[in-house]
Amino acid sequence: MLNIVLFGPPGAGKGTQSDSLISKYNLVHLSTGDIFRFNIKGATELGLMAKSFIDKGELVPDSVTIKMLQTEVLKNSDANGFIFDGFPRTNAQADALDGFLSQMNTSISVMLSLDVNEEELKNRLLKRAEVSGRADDADESIIKNRIAVYNAETAPVKDFYAAQNKLISIDGHGSITDITNRLFKAIDSL
């Protein structure tokens, strides 16, 4: 299996780049943010709970997020591999992911980390808000909080994969195609 953690701060381009990677490598795309939004739309119990965190730019608690992600992985156990987009966002999530992948006799192949400077992130998120309809993209104070939460809780997950020699940093500036080609090159070099 080819199991990729596509990593980076909010607005780094994880969703956009996932589209190119899933078709080239025939992977199942699991975006925890998309799954939460799907549940919010359907007004499920999970969605209502998640909304209270997402609206503030906070992380949904690990216990809930891990269980939800594990269910999705198990539903797709015959996949060629996965792109994990927006997960793991804490070391506890990374640890749990290693645990249940190993129960499936597989593991993370690589973490591809998209590096983008903060000014560019804010601009991209505000621009995305014009089309995404996402409240958490439209409000500058929520964006600021999401980036702060990323720096405090999520960025350390890079060290988790660096310690396993699985971290590859990718320059996330430039055109979408240029960034896609950098990602392809990194994957093809594995």
Residues that bind ligand AMP (CB under 6 A): 10, 32-33, 36, 53-54, 57-60, 65, 86-87, 89, 93, 136, 146
Can you say whether the dihedral through the CA atoms of 2, 8, 130, 33 is positive or negative?
positive
Closest chain position to ligand AMP (CB): 33
Taking the least distance from each CB to ligand AMP, the nearer of 71 and 181 is 71
Nearer to ligand AMP, 87 or 161 (CB): 87
Min CB(86)–ligand AMP separation in Å? 3
Shortest Å, Cβ 64 to ligand AMP: 8
Angle at 111 between CA 108 and CA 115, to 5 degrees: 170
Residue 176 or 190 with smaller CB distance to ligand AMP:
176
Q: Cβ 68 to ligand AMP, closest distance in Å? A: 9
Q: Which residues pair with residue 83 across a beta bridge?
A: 4, 29
Distances (CA, A) of 136 to 48, 56, 125, 144: 15, 7, 9, 10
In the structure encoding, which two tokens stand for residue 61, read together? 């608690």
Distance CA 79, CA 135 (A): 33
The residues that are catalytic are 14, 89, 128, 134, 146
